[in-house]
Amino acid sequence: MHDMRFAIPRQDLNREAFASSIPEFNRRSDLMKTDMGYKCRITNVVNLTDQEKLFQLRIVDPQERRIFRFKPGQFLMLELPGYGDVPISISSASSNHEFLELCIRKAGHVTSALFRTEPGMHVAIRGPFGSSFPMDEMSGNNVLLVAGGLGIAPLRAPLFWINEHRDRFHDVHLLYGAKEPSQLLFSYQFDEWKTISHIRLHTIVEHADAEWKESTGMITELFRDISIDAKHTYAIVCGPPVMFKFVCSYLDRLGIPMNRMFVSLERRMHCGMGKCCRCMVGSTFTCIDGPVFDYWSVMNLKEAI
């Protein structure tokens, strides 16, 4: 007994229908891609070390390229079709609307597959996601950037920002540590940072080689060489959890308020949108409430460090 009167009509969802059924859709997500990625062309790949490469991407569609804007500290989900997607910090200048740069370490299966890609191939990105470093709030102060290993990747965006707005900041120090000299990333940019951006760069390695002329040891030892005006300093610390724990508690003892220190957390992620819950720390999502947190929040998050 088929009676069409009782058959529920199917409501298909196209973009418009979707937008109209969620009142705040336009405000929040119009410019964001969630399920579908922005297609990007890999325009250049630089081998930084045998473990890290710098990928330069360009969003293919001009209109999408115009729309895509991000703030220093944010990340995106980089997708290699067939392999999967991974969260990666954006490592280029937020003012650069032509290209995106991602500094990627070969860590697992998606990143390994990425290492086999070549310029000309296409990948997808979703985002940008997450919180950012409060560059405006920092203005008028000294800035202390501390990076350990790959931690330099999320620091490049604020570095670019500082360079573009150099007059708004007083002293800017970058303390950068790695295991070995060969693992220091972006050494080709060191001169530029020092001379053009007027950033005081201090590098340190755990294991020096014959040519190494800078300091040797753990990153905290670099603090001996600089004086910090705790009242007027903001700090951004990126690196492995052990490192930022050490550094932040040191800075805490120096008297820098916890809400003026920023760290970027890392957790497993599958969506970037606060849904999959893989990145939850306490009741906080690393992907939408973070990855950038002030140290006060991190201290208050159970199981963050």
Ligand X SMILES: Cc1cc2nc3c(=O)[nH]c(=O)nc-3n(C[C@H](O)[C@H](O)[C@H](O)COP(=O)(O)OP(=O)(O)OC[C@H]3O[C@@H](n4cnc5c(N)ncnc54)[C@H](O)[C@@H]3O)c2cc1C
Q: Which residues bind another protein (CB under 8 A)?
A: 1-14, 18, 21-22, 24-25, 28-29, 32, 34-37, 39, 79, 81-85, 107-109, 111-113, 116, 120-122, 124, 266-268, 270-271, 273-278, 280, 282-285, 288-289, 302-303
Find which of another protein, ligand X, none residue 87 binds, CB within 5 to 8 Å per kind: ligand X
Helix (H, G, I), strand (E, B) or coil at 254: helix
User: Rounded CA gap, 140 and 73, in Å?
Assistant: 20
Nearest Cα to 155, choosing from 223, 72, 71?
Answer: 72
Q: 70 or 223: whose CB is closer to ligand X? A: 70
Rounded distance, CA 214 to CA 203, Å?
A: 6
With respect to another protein, which residue has the nearer C-beta, 195 or 283? 283
Of 68 and 266, nearer to ligand X (C-beta) is 266
Q: In angstroms, what is the minimal distance from the CB of 295 to ligand X?
A: 17
Residue 263 touches which member of another protein, ligand X, none, C-beta under 5-8 Å by kind: none
Residue 305 CA to residue 58 CA, distance in Å, equals 35
The answer, yes or no, to whether the previous bond of 23 is cis (omega within 30 of 0) is no
Q: How far is the CB of 303 from another protein (least distance, A)?
A: 7
**Residue 85: CB minimum distance to ligand X, A:** 7
Residue nearest to ligand X (CB): 108
- Distance (Å, rounded) from C-alpha 211 to C-alpha 176? 18
Distance, CA of 213 to CA of 285 (rounded, Å)? 42
Peptide bond into 291 cis (omega under 30): yes
Decide whether 142 or 290 has the Cβ nearer to ligand X. 290
Picked from ligand X, another protein, none, the partner binding residue 125 (CB below 5 to 8 A depending on kind) is: none
Partner from another protein, ligand X, none binding residue 89, C-beta < 5-8 Å depending on class: ligand X
Nearer to ligand X, 150 or 174 (CB): 150
Bond before 158 cis per omega within 30 degrees = no
Residues that bind ligand X (CB under 6 A): 75, 84, 86-89, 103-105, 107-111, 150, 153, 266-270, 291
75 binds, among another protein, ligand X, none (CB under 5 to 8 A by kind): ligand X
CB of 244 to another protein, least distance (A): 15
Cβ nearer to another protein, comparing 255 with 282: 282
Query: Binding partner of residue 88 among another protein, ligand X, none, CB under 5 to 8 Å per kind?
Result: ligand X
Of these partners, another protein, ligand X, none, which one is at the site of residue 31 (CB under 5 to 8 Å by kind)? none
Q: Which is nearer to another protein, 226 or 277 (CB)?
A: 277
Q: How far apart are CA 51 and CA 121, in angstroms?
A: 21
Length of the chain (residues): 305
Our measurement of the distance from residue 221's CA atom to the centroid of its chain's CA atoms, rounded to an integer in Å, reads: 25
Which of 89, 78, 77 has its CA nearest to residue 114?
Answer: 78
Structure tokens at 157: 């965006």
Tell me, rounded to whole angstroms, the distance of Cα 160 from its chain centroid: 13
Query: Which option in ligand X, another protein, none does residue 62 bind, with CB closer than 5 to 8 A by kind?
Result: none
* Residue number, 97 or 109, with CB nearest to ligand X: 109
Largest CA distance in the chain: 88
How would you class 144 by CB atoms within 10 Å of its CB: exposed for 0-12, middle for 13-18, buried for 19 or more?
buried
